[in-house]
Amino acid sequence: MTDGAPPLSAVQLDRIAWRRRQSIRSILVAAASTAVLGVLLVVAVTGAPGWDRVRQSFLDPTIAADALPDILRGLWLNVRLLVFCAVGSLALGLVIALLRTLRGPVFFPVRALATSYTYTFRGLPLIIVIYVLTLGVPGLRLQGMPSVLVLGGLALVLTYSGYLAEVFRAGIESVHPSQVAAARSLGLTYRQAMRHVVLPQAVRRVAPPLLNDTVALQKDVGLVSLAGPIDAVRAAQISTAEHFNYTPYIVAGVLFVLLAIPLIAVTDWVTLRAARRQASR
């Protein structure tokens, strides 16, 4: 055996050539239909009778340039809050999900608390939690009161960890009971079985929905501006009022989408990978 595999047969060579022609053809068809649709859309929008007015009030480049620095400053706040809240609510959500799985009478109060937590914070509108924490709690005038920004972030963590806890719990419950039995029969304690067998499988399985909730969180972090801090949307709102022009909103919207793209791409990739793993079983 000097040159590895035997030469391909004529049939296989023909097959390869045919598949290549087919894929070139598909790419060309896709490009052509995209171009046609794009042209139609542009013609329909720019040909509309109110297009000039809309362009002036939503797509003014000088106003966009003027508003950009403030909006970017606001966006930086969104990013920091997102990181803080995502990490916080993932950690808290996992803890609450684990508390809900504890067995034994000693843990009854803990279980009950964890369960009522998920009921309460999934039921309570986020805006109300933010108002209570950022407007109500500072009214207590306690020593060492954290800033409104931290309190707002806390409100987001409280609400989102309620959702994420349920996602984690669904993952934990989706692991087949035989897996726990197999782990216990090897002598692992309940905690060891949870840590080394159940959780790794559960987290892998629910990674796509967890990331999806993180994408949603990215948009909700802006709600802290209700309490004063200026996020990107609030900055756009201020700029809009100054210029009597809606362009800043478009700028903020585009920035949000750009910010979301990496997160959404990661989500899709993780989902795809999870689906592949399932398929290969």
Partner 1 sequence: MTAVLSCQGVRKLFGPSVVLDGLDLDVAEHEVVALIGASGSGKSTLLRCVNLLEDLDDGTIHLDGAHITDPRINPDLVRRKIGIVFQAYNLFPHLSVLDNITLAPVRVHKRPAASARSQALALLDRIGLASKAAAFPDRLSGGQQQRVAIVRALVNSPRLLLLDEVTSALDPELVGEVLDLIRDLKADGMTMVLATHEMTFARQVADRVCFLDAGRILEQGSPEQVLDNPVEARTQQFLRRLAPA
Quick one: 21 or 176, whose CB is closer to partner 1? 176
Shortest spacing between CB 179 and partner 1, in angstroms: 6
174 binds partner 1 (CB under 8 A): no
184 binds partner 1 (CB under 8 A): yes
How far is CA 129 from each of CA 87, 123, 249, rounded to the nearest angstrom? 19, 11, 26
Shortest spacing between CB 230 and partner 1, in angstroms: 44
Shortest spacing between CB 267 and partner 1, in angstroms: 20
Query: Under a CB-based contact definition with an 8 Å cutoff, are residues 247 and 63 in contact?
Result: yes
Quick one: 24 or 186, whose CB is closer to partner 1? 186
272 binds partner 1 (CB under 8 A): no
Rounded Cα gap, residues 65 and 43, in angstroms: 27
Find the binding residues for partner 1 in span 49-78 (CB under 8 A). none
- Among residues 15, 122, 176, 273, which is the contact residue for partner 1, using CB under 8 A? 176
Shortest spacing between CB 174 and partner 1, in angstroms: 12
Site track 186-225 with partner 1 (rule: CB under 8 A), x = hit:
xxxx--x---xx--xx--x---------------------
Could you count the other beta carbons within 10 Å of the beta carbon of residue 128? Answer: 11
Quick one: 204 or 219, whose CB is closer to partner 1? 204
Shortest spacing between CB 274 and partner 1, in angstroms: 12
Quick one: 102 or 135, whose CB is closer to partner 1? 102
How far is CA 145 from each of CA 24, 130, 136, 139, 150, rounded to the nearest angstrom? 64, 16, 12, 10, 10
Rounded Cα gap, residues 161 and 89, in angstroms: 4
- Among residues 109, 139, 178, 262, which is the contact residue for partner 1, using CB under 8 A? 178
Rounded Cα gap, residues 90 and 120, in angstroms: 18
141 binds partner 1 (CB under 8 A): no
**Tokens describing residue 278:** 């399932």
Rounded Cα gap, residues 263 and 222, in angstroms: 17
Q: Tell me, rounded to whole angstroms, the distance of Cα 77 from its chain centroid.
A: 17
Site track 8-27 with partner 1 (rule: CB under 8 A), x = hit:
--------------------
The DSSP string of 224-274 is GGGGS---HHHHHHHHHHHHT-SHHHHHHHHHHHHHHHHHHHHHHHHHHHH
Rounded Cα gap, residues 77 and 150, in angstroms: 12
281 binds partner 1 (CB under 8 A): yes
Rg, C-alpha atoms of the chain: 26
Quick one: 130 or 193, whose CB is closer to partner 1? 193
Query: Under a CB-based contact definition with an 8 Å cutoff, are residues 89 and 122 in contact?
Result: no
Q: Which residues bind partner 1 (CB under 8 A)?
A: 176, 178-179, 181-189, 192, 196-197, 200-201, 204, 277, 280-281
